Amino acid sequence: MIEIPITPPLTLFSEDEKLFYDMVCDFAKEKIKPIVRKMDDESCIDPSIIPQLFELGLMGIEIPEKHGGSETNFFMSILAIEALSSVDPSIAVVVDVQNTLVNNAFLQWGSEELKDKYFSQLASEKIGAYALSEAGSGSDAFALATKAEDKGDHYELNGRKMWTTNGNEAEIFIIFANLNPDAGYKGITAFVVEKEFEGFSVGKKEDKLGIRASSTCELLLDNCKVPKENVLGEIGKGYKVAMETLNEGRIGIGAQMVGLAQGVFDYGLQYTKEREQFGKPISSFQGLQFQLAQAATELEAARLMVYNAARLKEAGKTFIKEAAMAKLFSSQLAQKIASLMVEVLGGYGFTREYPVEKFYRDSKIGTIYEGTSNMQLQTIAKELLKD
């Protein structure tokens, strides 16, 4: 098996950010890389990995120090996701959902009581999940059928959620339900649900093409009792919580796809230097050199798009269009580069013995979750055509 260094980002960032990125890369290479294939085969995260993610502070990157978090910034989350994805996108998406969706939702919409109650848990030991999609509401997210009912001293949720990342490992869930169906999407409300709440259970775990170690599950709500204080944000403002959080989440998916593309590119590039045909390394053939040069150029462009969207978010600027562009382009590019490297390795690339096959399978999800490519195009066009 080829041993290669993980290529760090070529763009400039602060010394602290560089040190953090290198630290996560080293962790990924030393602790995750040796068991990537095993986790993929078993469709399960090795139990030793999750505690280490918490110990490194990767599960509470923006959570305030007073709650046990690292209290850094959104860009650090993006760097962590990118670095992990260069070795295993399955582990990266666990960190991604925790930081860009769950923790970010609490940061922006959580009451002080909810932050006090849940941040220390999310920073130290408990995984979070974000449940919006249903069998009949994917791209049309606000067609959700899960209902909430005010029972006086608590809310009661009934319905079924689908495609919930981290569903098997999570203990804290942000679940969207409609408290006033007559009001349409303006009845949608976000609730914080604990795994142990009465009436809540985790259903089927999906058997997926890629990112197999990451669990994707259905959630079952059967008269699930939720305390009144566990409304996240305002009643009837769940649609706003969902959209604003997903805009940030798309930058995380962009980082995941950039990291994946970098990981498979690095492997394939090293292979071209060692594989000989017609008496010389295949990297000496101009036809292949041009393909590598094109891929490297587009990869750097994707990285810059992701970083730009993240910096805009941090600066409090509008970033909806930039996030959609970054997610669209990086997910398409990840598939393109992974496919190229399968071809570069030839027959070897088509076998499970080499990592490019797994990267290729993992890359497909980038064009689907947290908004399909068509939805990103729609968002970009809408932003472009604003008066």
- List, for residues 66-99, the tens digit of each pLDDT value: 999 999 999 999 999 999 999 999 999 999 999 9
- When pLDDT is averaged across residues 168-188 and rounded to a whole number, the result is 97
Q: What confidence score (pLDDT) does residue 375 get?
A: 96
pLDDT tens-digit map of 242-263: 999 999 999 999 999 999 999 9
The per-residue pLDDT for range 24-36, each reduced to its tens digit, is 999 999 999 999 9
Is residue 7 situated within a structural domain?
no
44-70: average pLDDT? 97
Indicate the pLDDT class of residue 270, thresholds 50, 70 and 90. Answer: very high
Note whether residue 158 is domain-resident. yes
pLDDT (mean) for 369-373: 95
pLDDT given at position 281: 98
φ, ψ (nearest 5 deg) of residue 282: -65, -20
Residues 151 and 218 in one domain: yes
* Mean pLDDT of the 164-170 span: 98
1 within a domain of the structure (yes/no): no
Q: Which two tokens stand for residue 179?
A: 């408290």
- What does the alpha-carbon distance between residue 170 and residue 126 come to, in Å, rounded to a whole number? 7
Q: Are residues 260 and 363 in the same domain?
A: yes
Looking at the structure, tell me whether residues 28 and 66 fall in a common domain.
Answer: yes
pLDDT at residue 1 greater than cutoff 60: no
Kindly list the catalytic residues.
370
Is the predicted pLDDT of residue 8 greater than 60, yes or no? Answer: no
Residue 214 lies in a domain: yes
- Residue after which a domain boundary falls, among 127, 148, 167: 127
Contact 189, 148 (CB under 8 A): yes
Question: Is 154 within the bounds of a domain?
Answer: yes
pLDDT given at position 208: 98
Banded model confidence at residue 13, pLDDT cuts 50, 70, 90? confident
Range of the domain at 283: 240-384
Q: In the chain, where does DSSP find H-type helix?
A: 15-27, 36-42, 49-55, 74-85, 89-96, 104-109, 112-124, 238-274, 286-314, 320-345, 356-363, 373-384
Domain at 168, CATH number: 2.40.110.10
Band of pLDDT at residue 350, cut at 50, 70 and 90: very high
Confidence tier at 11 by pLDDT (50, 70, 90): low
Mean pLDDT over 276-289 rounds to: 98
Segment 293-313 mean pLDDT: 97
Q: Point out the domain boundary residue: 127, 157, 187.
A: 127
The answer to whether residues 358 and 266 belong to one domain is yes
My answer on whether 108 and 134 are in the same domain is no
Tell me what percent of the residues of the chain surpass a pLDDT of 70.
97
Tell me if 6 is assigned to some domain.
no
Give the number of C-alpha atoms closer than 13 A to the C-alpha of residue 241, restricted to the C-beta side: 33
Residue 161 confidence (pLDDT) above 60: yes
| Count of domains observed in the chain | 3
DSSP string, 72-84: --HHHHHHHHHHH
The whole-model pTM stands at 0.96
Instruction: Give the end of a domain, one of 205, 236, 267.
Output: 236
Q: Among 15, 1, 38, which Cα is nearest to 213's?
A: 38
Pair 246, 366 in one domain: yes
What confidence category does residue 362 fall into, taking pLDDT thresholds of 50, 70 and 90?
A: very high
pLDDT at 202: 98
Q: Would you say residue 341 lies in a domain?
A: yes
DSSP single-letter state for residue 233: S
Q: Are 136 and 231 in a shared domain?
A: yes
State the pLDDT at residue 232. Answer: 98
Do 223 and 170 have their domain in common?
Answer: yes
User: Which band of pLDDT confidence, cut at 50, 70 and 90, is reported for residue 151?
Assistant: very high
Supply the pLDDT for residue 108. 96
116 and 252 housed in the same domain: no
Contact criterion met (CB below 8 Å) for 212 and 46 = no
User: What's the confidence (pLDDT) of residue 138?
Assistant: 85
| 185 domain residue, yes or no | yes
On whether both 94 and 190 belong to a single domain, the answer is no
Tell me, what CATH number does 84's domain have? 1.10.540.10
Q: How far apart are CA 187 and CA 166, in angstroms?
A: 26
Tokens of residue 151, six digits:
């029972």
Whole-number mean pLDDT of the chain?
A: 96
pLDDT value at residue 14: 86
Residues 155, 253 within the same domain: no
Residues 231 and 183 occupy one common structural domain: yes
The enclosing domain of 316 has a CATH number of 1.20.140.10
